[in-house]
Amino acid sequence: MTTFKSGNISLTQIEEFVWEIPRSGDMIVPARIFASETLLEQISQDKTLEQLKNTASLPGIQKYAICMPDGHQGYGFPVGGVVATDANNGCISPGGVGYDINCGVRMIKTNLSYSDLRGKEESLGKLLFNKVPAGLGKGGVLNTSLEDIEEILSLGVEWALSNGYAVPEDLDFCEDRGRRTDADPTKISLRAKQRGKNQVGSLGSGNHFLE
């Protein structure tokens, strides 16, 4: 049986690409990591495994605390971590959901084929990095005011449409047409609005990416 040790954390290989940290201490369930041994070595370089063990002690957690292959250190809860908790007695973990709580997926179809891009991948990547702010503290491409933030919180994608940053079809391909009609900006603190003011149009950091 193959084992892997990182500091005081020992993992056992259950099957190919599946590693388990057995229950110990306050852990309610075991923890499992889906990764090759090469990926596991990278994941173990920060506090991901320690954070994964901690999530295994969350109230109401079911079966396993799981770390996906993209796992890396988060803010208490590892990024790439997955848990299920009991619907009646389990906890809701903001750190698990993510503090922005609005990660999404968008697929944009172009008229380009691979032959158009072959050999240009590196220059395309550099262009994306130059045009789309990414990373912690990079800020956004839009100079928005607090009034804009209020409207964005209320109108969602409709704000982007009315300001030239979306097309009508975008509404059809967004959950709830890109807007919660019961959204109430007064529930958001001024500090949070000020923090978000310069992030509109940014990619953010962590598990946010373009490909």
Instruction: Classify 173 in phi/psi space as left (phi over 0), alpha (psi -120 to 50) or beta.
Output: alpha
Residue with tokens 């607090």: 146
pLDDT tens digits for range 179-210: 999 999 999 999 989 988 888 877 766 666 77
Q: What ranges do the domains of the chain cover?
A: 3-97, 134-196
No. of helices (H) and no. of strands (E), the chain: 9, 6
Distances (CA, A) of 170 to 25, 32, 157, 175: 49, 38, 8, 10
Span 53-100, pLDDT tens digits: 999 999 999 999 999 999 999 888 998 999 999 999 899 888 887 766
65-72: strand order across its sheet: 3-6, 9-15, 18-21, 31-34, 65-72, 79-82
> Which residues, listed in sequence order, are joined to residue 31 by a DSSP beta bridge?
21, 65
CA distances from 163 to 2, 51, 156, 157, 193 (A): 57, 41, 11, 10, 19
Q: Within 13 A of 54's CA, how many CA atoms are on the CB side?
A: 14
The whole model's pTM is what? 0.61
β-strands 31-34, 79-82: how paired? unpaired
Strand partners, 67: 33, 81
pLDDT of residue 75: 84
* Contact status, residue 53 vs residue 28, Cβ threshold 8 Å: no
Are 64 and 29 in contact by the 8 Å Cβ rule? The answer is: yes
CA separation for the pair 134, 163 (Å, rounded): 22
Q: Which of 67, 62, 60 is nearest to 11 (CA)?
A: 67
> In 10 A of CB 14, how many CB atoms?
14
* 8-67 per-position pLDDT tens digit: 999 999 999 999 999 999 999 999 999 999 999 999 999 999 999 999 999 999 999 999
Contact 14, 32 (CB under 8 A): yes
Report whether pLDDT(141) > 80.
no
Tell me the two tokens of residue 95.
């750190």
